[in-house]
């Protein structure tokens, strides 16, 4: 689904037989791309990138943490053509393209600004080819980028219009997972990235809606089912991911969980209490006013071992029914909860569950950045830099409108 695997007859060396990610790498500066493409690093992984699908665009000046600068880069010279060409090449090498997944920062400059432009570009040029899901990574609130609220507000406003579904991940939450789940006392950036990839991987892992589908390998769950189920209404596009368990690599083999009380139970308590890290679950709390938007979540949970008696297909999902303390808004469709499962293990977990939710608490947390940006805007701070790159009062007005509308929507649930 996510890789091209070379046919075994043509490849000889180990490197050329490794699968190639169906990915286009885009940046305004070469350092990170070079690191990804470096064959030394490629050997450490079990996949590689296609160097022809990487592009470093712009004049090399970078976006300088300025969304407006990153965004306008797309229209400089031949940048648009170059990027869309690379994407088209990857499209052409797919037999059955299902969707696009654009991963970027929420509030940097290049990822957020250029990422939004690329998203719109993909929508304009290839919307007939598939859905477009975005994953955006929220920066640390202490530091990293001072103008993050501005950039985040611009990103959210832009993606709320153009994207089909927006998964919001958070660096700070990821650090807590590293510390409490993986027991890394002082996590590095690499750990943070890996823990996020674990969550995202769980959400996108091939799984099925029924046992018979899995047996015949038809209709696997992927981005299209995820987006179409979790975003039943265009006013509610913000998704978040919960996953269980989060534990140190070396403990995985020695851990045996139960489904009902363990994986499912913990996911349920996390989503009900607005908790983002497994180790922070508060069991005493009964209800924390967690309200769900239309179609809150679906869990493609539970890639478990096949040989064990506790069959993944037997796990009840009734804990997620509205009778169990869940508040589903009335406007949601009849079955807000959907479950996808698979026998095949996720990584080496005995049992693993992922919950993708379209829920008010995490959505409001992300949208809170719009309010932060409005505070800055009221003080007039930093506006001159955005003005210089073409984001003037009219654009800000639109951002506030889109942002407050989304906030209102989620608050009303």
Partner 1 sequence: MPREIVTIQVGQCGNQIGRSFWSRALHEHAENAKYDGDSRPVFSEAMSTFFRNVNMSTKGEMYAGSEICDLKARACLIDMEDGVLAETMRGPLKDLFSTAQLLSDVSGAGNNWAHGFYEYGEKYQDLFLELVRSQAEPCDSLQSFFLMHSLGGGTGSGLGTRLLELLADNYGGTYRFATSVLPSSSGEGDDVITSPYNSVLALNQLTEHADAVLPIDNARLSVLSSKGASGSGSNAVKSAKGRDGFDAMNNVVARLLTDLTASMRFDGDLNTDLNEITTNLVPFPRMHYLCPALAPMGLGSHGSRGGMNSSVMVKGLFRDCFSPDCSLISMGETGVNVRNSSVLACGVFVRGSGIPISDVNANVARLQAELRMPNWNREGFKIGLCEVNGLEKRSSMMTLTNSDMINGVFESLVERFNKLYRRKANVHHYTQFCDAGIFDEALGSLEQLIQDYKDVGTRGGGAERGEDLIWDAAESQKKGRGVAF
Candidates 44, 92, 95, 379; binder of partner 1 (CB under 8 A) is 379
H helix or E strand, kind and range, residue 165: strand 165-170
H helix or E strand, kind and range, residue 295: strand 292-299
> Is there binding between residue 103 and partner 1 (CB under 8 A)?
no
CB of 236 to partner 1, least distance (A): 17
> Is there binding between residue 36 and partner 1 (CB under 8 A)?
no
Candidates 82, 385, 395, 398; binder of partner 1 (CB under 8 A) is 385
Distance (Å, rounded) from C-alpha 322 to C-alpha 305?
A: 29
In 205-351, where does DSSP find H-type helix? 211-216, 223-230, 265-273
Please state the φ and ψ torsions of residue 277, each to the nearest 5 degrees.
Answer: -125, 130
Whether the CB-CB separation of 238 and 366 falls below 8 Å is answered with yes
> Is there binding between residue 43 and partner 1 (CB under 8 A)?
no
Candidates 18, 53, 66, 155; binder of partner 1 (CB under 8 A) is 66
147 token code pair: 């103008």
**Scanning residues 191 to 210, which ones bind partner 1 (CB under 8 A)?**
192
What residue ranges in 28-109 does DSSP mark as E strands?
Answer: 54-56, 99-105
406 token code pair: 């989304």
> Is there binding between residue 325 and partner 1 (CB under 8 A)?
no
What residue ranges in 54-200 does DSSP mark as E strands?
Answer: 54-56, 99-105, 131-138, 165-170
> Between 4 and 33, how does the x/- string for binding to partner 1 read (CB under 8 A)?
-------------------------xxxx-
Distance (Å, rounded) from C-alpha 277 to C-alpha 173?
A: 7
> Is there binding between residue 404 and partner 1 (CB under 8 A)?
yes
H helix or E strand, kind and range, residue 195: helix 189-204
- Residues in contact with partner 1, total (CB under 8 A)? 47
> Is there binding between residue 371 and partner 1 (CB under 8 A)?
yes
What residue ranges in 80-164 does DSSP mark as E strands?
Answer: 99-105, 131-138
> Is there binding between residue 95 and partner 1 (CB under 8 A)?
no
> Between 147 and 186, how does the x/- string for binding to partner 1 read (CB under 8 A)?
xxx-------------------------x---x------x
CB of 381 to partner 1, least distance (A): 4
* Binding region for partner 1 (CB under 8 A): 29-32, 35, 56, 59-62, 64-66, 109, 140-149, 175, 179, 186-190, 192, 371-372, 374-376, 378-382, 384-385, 404, 407-408
């Amino acid at each position: 689904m996510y890789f091209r695997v070379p046919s075994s007859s043509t490849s000889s060396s180990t490197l050329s037989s490794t699968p190639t990610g169906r990915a286009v790498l885009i940046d305004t500066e070469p350092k990170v791309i070079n690191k990804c493409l470096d064959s030394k690093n490629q050997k450490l992984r079990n996949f590689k990138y296609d160097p022809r699908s990487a592009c470093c665009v712009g004049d090399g000046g970078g976006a300088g943490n300025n969304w407006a600068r990153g965004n306008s880069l797309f229209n400089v010279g031949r940048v648009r053509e170059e990027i869309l060409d690379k994407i088209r090449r990857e499209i052409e090498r797919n037999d059955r393209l299902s969707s696009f997944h654009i991963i970027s920062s929420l509030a940097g400059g290049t990822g957020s600004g250029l990422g939004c432009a690329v998203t719109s570009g993909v929508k304009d040029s290839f919307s007939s080819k598939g859905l477009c899901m975005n994953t955006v990574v929220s920066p640390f609130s202490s530091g990293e980028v001072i103008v993050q609220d501005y950039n985040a507000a611009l990103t959210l406003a832009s993606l709320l219009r153009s994207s089909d579904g927006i998964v919001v991940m958070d660096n700070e939450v990821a650090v807590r997972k590293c510390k409490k789940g993986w027991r890394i006392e002082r996590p590095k950036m690499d750990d943070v990235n890996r823990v996020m990839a674990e969550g995202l991987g769980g959400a996108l892992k091939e799984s099925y809606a029924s046992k018979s589908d899995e047996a015949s390998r038809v209709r696997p769950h992927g981005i299209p089912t995820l987006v179409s189920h979790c975003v039943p209404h265009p006013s509610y596009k913000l998704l978040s991911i919960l996953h269980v368990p989060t534990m140190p690599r070396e403990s995985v083999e020695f851990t045996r969980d139960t489904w009902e009380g363990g994986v499912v139970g913990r996911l349920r308590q996390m989503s009900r209490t607005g908790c983002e890290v497994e180790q922070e679950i508060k069991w005493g709390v009964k209800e924390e006013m967690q309200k769900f938007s239309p179609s809150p979540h679906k869990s493609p949970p539970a890639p478990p071992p096949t040989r064990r008696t506790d069959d993944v297909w037997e796990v009840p999902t009734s804990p997620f029914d509205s009778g169990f303390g869940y508040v589903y808004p009335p406007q949601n469709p009849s079955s807000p909860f959907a479950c996808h499962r698979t026998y095949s293990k996720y990584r080496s977990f005995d049992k693993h569950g992922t919950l993708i939710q379209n829920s008010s608490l995490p959505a409001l947390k992300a949208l809170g950045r719009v309010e932060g940006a409005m505070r800055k805007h009221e003080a007039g701070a930093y506006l001159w830099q955005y003005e210089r790159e073409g984001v003037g009062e009219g654009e800000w007005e639109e951002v506030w409108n889109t942002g407050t509308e989304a906030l209102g929507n989620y608050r009303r649930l």
